[in-house]
Amino acid sequence: MHEMGICDGILSASLDAAAKENATRVNSIDVTIGDLTEIQGEALQFAFGVLTKDTIAENAVLNITTVSALSRCADCAAEFSHGRFDAKCPECGSYMCELLQGRELRVDAIDID
């Protein structure tokens, strides 16, 4: 499962950060995920539950913020959000669009004790 590897990355980065602060517990981890990463929130939550077992993040809450894909048209500079496969300018119909957001995968905050 795609999400298992992603979650492993998020979790090890968070546990590293927690270890540096001499934390004994991770309370929550906030992540932002772009729509185009094709990460399923539910699958990520499941992976998180499995991977945090027997770690200091065992009962931590994973807060997921998803951002939809947003592009800017190279022809008319319109900015528009869109789905995974339809990055077409709604103003002028151009496909020459630059992706502004939608591929995010980052840890925003970690709450530790």
What's the 3-state SS for 52-75? CCCCCCCCCEEEEEEECEEEEECC
Asked if 87 interacts with Zn ion (CB under 5 A), we say no
Asked if 6 interacts with Zn ion (CB under 5 A), we say no
Asked if 75 interacts with Zn ion (CB under 5 A), we say yes
Asked if 98 interacts with Zn ion (CB under 5 A), we say no
Find all residues with CB under 8 Å of 88, minimum gap 6, and list them. 82, 94, 95, 97
How many residues make up the chain in this entry?
A: 113
Cβ count within 10 A of residue 92: 12
Among 15, 89, 110, 112, binds Zn ion (CB under 5 A): 89
What is the residue whose two structure tokens read 């496969």? 85
Using the rule CB under 5 A, give the single segment among 2-10, 22-30, 40-48, 94-102 that binds Zn ion: 94-102
| Minimum gap (Å) between residue 77 Cβ and Zn ion | 7
Asked if 100 interacts with Zn ion (CB under 5 A), we say no
Nearest alpha carbon to residue 65 among 108, 4, 17, 112 = 108
Paired sense of beta strands 69-73 and 97-101, if any:
antiparallel
Asked if 28 interacts with Zn ion (CB under 5 A), we say no
Using the rule CB under 5 A, give the single segment among 9-17, 20-28, 35-43, 91-99 that binds Zn ion: 91-99
User: Interface with Zn ion by CB under 5 A: which residues?
Assistant: 73, 75-76, 78, 89, 91-92, 94
